[in-house]
Structure 1
Amino acid sequence: MYQALRPSRSEFVPVRTLRYHVRTWGAPSPSRPPLVLLHGWMDVAASWQFVVDALASERHVIAPDWRGFGQSDGGPVDNYWMPDYLADLDWLLDHYAGDAPVDLIGHSMGGNIAMQYGGVRPQRVRRLVNLEGFGMPVLQPSEAPGRFGKWIDQLKRLHKGEMALASYAGPEGVARRLMKTNPRLSQDKADWLAGHWSVARARAEGGERWEILGDPAHKIINANLFRVDEMLALYAAIEAPVLAVVASDDSLQGWWKGRYTLAEFQERLKSVRDVRLARVTDAGHMLHHDQPGQVAALIEPFLTGEGP
């Protein structure tokens, strides 16, 4: 199994009405701001371990499990909303950084949150790295009736127990599932991740099953239409330099089949006043798992102002 070079510490922080789980590495430094890492959808904070280990120098790193993921509370809810993540992040930065700006890195959903937060609280972000946080395709107003109907239908399915996440006989089953989703993921990393991504829970009928540490309510679509104009306004309000990193595999083509393209995403990035682009080779969407060394080699000089 993968052996962490820089083991994390685990702690719990009150955030609004929730008990947030946060992993930290290193110690605070008066000469360097905290490095805050935001994981993506159906991921956990421990997923950053490979990148933390690949950093050339030690940093004070803070990585929360988002609400309803990992060991963080989700609250008595049956769906999740983007503005809550922004407020949760603000609370976490109050706790860990006070008024001082931080270096902010997000992957996928976490990258989208980082970009939006950078526009909402530009004074709190010193440098920002977006790893495959693309946003969503353009949605037309004519799609609203069907989308609201789908949202309600999914809520009903959730309450009937029809949207439960898969469970597994043991952690090796979780590891196999991770490797099926990401063929580049090595066995040692999959085994390590399985122990942080899932937990054994007893069943009423006897025995136990390993369940993913994620609330099934995260599978409910957002009822509101994604607004590109709002996102571009947030992009334009970002004051920090931004590094946008994509993988060599075209995730957008795989997901949207031409409905939303990498070229469109790059066009949107033109709204950011100070942005540079980078690419990680031999990697898919989970580029922080596939090539943590490349990711670390890109972000470290960017955070120190030495490139790219």
Structure 2
Amino acid sequence: MPHIYTPRRPHCDEFLTLRGLRHHVLRWGQPRAGEPPLVMVHGWMDVGASFQFVVDALEQDREVIALDWRGFGLSAASGSDSYWFPDYLGDLDALLDALSPDAPVDLLGHSMGGNVAMSYAGVRQARVRRLVNLEGFGMPDVSPAAAPERLARWLDELKDPPSLRPYATLADVAERLRKNNPRLGQDKAAWLAGHWARETPEGFLLNADPAHKLANPMLYRKAEVLACWQRITAPTLWVEGSDDQLTRFWGGRFPREDFEARLALVPGLARAVLQDAGHMLHHDQPEALAAVLEPFLA
């Protein structure tokens, strides 16, 4: 039986109804006068508990809040067979209205969550004091000519919806996590597995709605996304791992030059690269990430 990670700052669980759906919220620390909460939003096929390791690495015992997006973790599924990107912005807006209605927050997003956070900060400038994007690269631009094929694929997948395979034990879930990211230590994987999956009569199933795996019928429109990025007013920190995940994910479909041109449009941008880290940099190098975050957020 592997050793299981012991959090230095255990979280408290809360449930909020946001836009009619029950959402799971994790809280660390207590509010302090004059200091905004740090709100963290996770990536695709992940959970809010994923931020535990970097929260533990923060020297300052500040208030931190993480959300399980709809259809992930312990938050309710959407109730439909599709997930739309604007719904994440709507859920985030409702979350901040509930938690900090009268003051801006510090907002951090990883991967998909980083993309949501960037768009949100450009649309709701007054709601974000500091913005941190952890490897939320976005996606390659898609030509409108691809719409018929994408819609046909979505319609076909609706007739044969995806499923998630069960795992026999939590140890198997932990091993899956380590297969996805070999840098993740056994103790952290063993702890995270209990938040990533739940026990069912069929075995341990990931805490994710299988509908997330459907093709998205809505094309990624780069021009619309960048229109939001250009409106960001909060000081923004871009953080990535030293491993080139952009090339790994997309190859020539999304050249680095394209992404650099996108980042160049973001006003007030600071940048950091964490060595010996990949896409899950908050798992790979939580102490190094905390060391970059705290002076930026101070």
Shift of 1:265: 1.3
C-alpha distance in 1 between matches for 2:256 and 2:172: 34
C-alpha distance in 2 between matches for 1:96 and 1:5: 24
Spell out the pairing of 1:279-294 with structure 2 (5 A cutoff).
279-294=273-288
Shift of 1:99: 2.3
CA-to-partner distance for each residue in 1:36-55, whole Å, 9 max, x for gaps? 00000000010000000000
Contact persistence 1:129–1:242 (CA under 8 A): yes
Corresponding residue for residue 206 of structure 1: none
Contact persistence 1:250–1:262 (CA under 8 A): no
Spell out the pairing of 1:1-308 with structure 2 (5 A cutoff).
1-158=4-161, 163-203=162-202, 209-304=203-298
* SS of alignment partner, residue 53 of structure 1: helix
Instruction: Report the residue type matching 2:267 in the other structure.
Output: R
Instruction: Report the residue type matching 1:13 in the other structure.
Output: L
Contact persistence 1:249–1:284 (CA under 8 A): yes
C-alpha distance in 2 between matches for 1:91 and 1:298: 29
Instruction: Report the residue type matching 2:256 in the other structure.
Output: L
* SS of alignment partner, residue 71 of structure 1: coil
Contact persistence 1:35–1:104 (CA under 8 A): yes
* Structure 2: gaps (5+ residues): none
Q: CA RMSD in A?
A: 0.9
CA-to-partner distance for each residue in 1:38-76, whole Å, 9 max, x for gaps? 000000010000000000111111101000000000131
* SS of alignment partner, residue 230 of structure 2: helix
Instruction: Report the residue type matching 1:137 in the other structure.
Output: P
Q: What percent of counterpart residues are identical? A: 56
Shift of 1:32: 0.7
Contact persistence 1:54–1:293 (CA under 8 A): yes
C-alpha distance in 2 between matches for 1:166 and 1:131: 29
Alignment length, in residue pairs? Answer: 295
Instruction: Report the residue type matching 1:176 in the other structure.
Output: E
TM norm structure 1: 0.94
Instruction: Report the residue type matching 1:287 in the other structure.
Output: L
Shift of 1:296: 0.7
C-alpha distance in 2 between matches for 1:69 and 1:156: 23
Shift of 1:266: 1.8
Runs of 4+ in 1 over 2 A off after TM superposition: none
C-alpha distance in 2 between matches for 1:131 and 1:57: 20
C-alpha distance in 1 between matches for 2:11 and 2:256: 34
CA-to-partner distance for each residue in 1:150-172, whole Å, 9 max, x for gaps? 111122221xxxx1112100100
CA-to-partner distance for each residue in 1:106-125, whole Å, 9 max, x for gaps? 00000000000001101000
* SS of alignment partner, residue 288 of structure 1: helix
Shift of 1:230: 0.6
Shift of 1:256: 0.9
Shift of 1:263: 2.9
* SS of alignment partner, residue 258 of structure 1: helix
C-alpha distance in 1 between matches for 2:45 and 2:115: 14
C-alpha distance in 1 between matches for 2:170 and 2:93: 34
Moved more, 218-227 or 82-91: 218-227
Shift of 1:252: 1.2
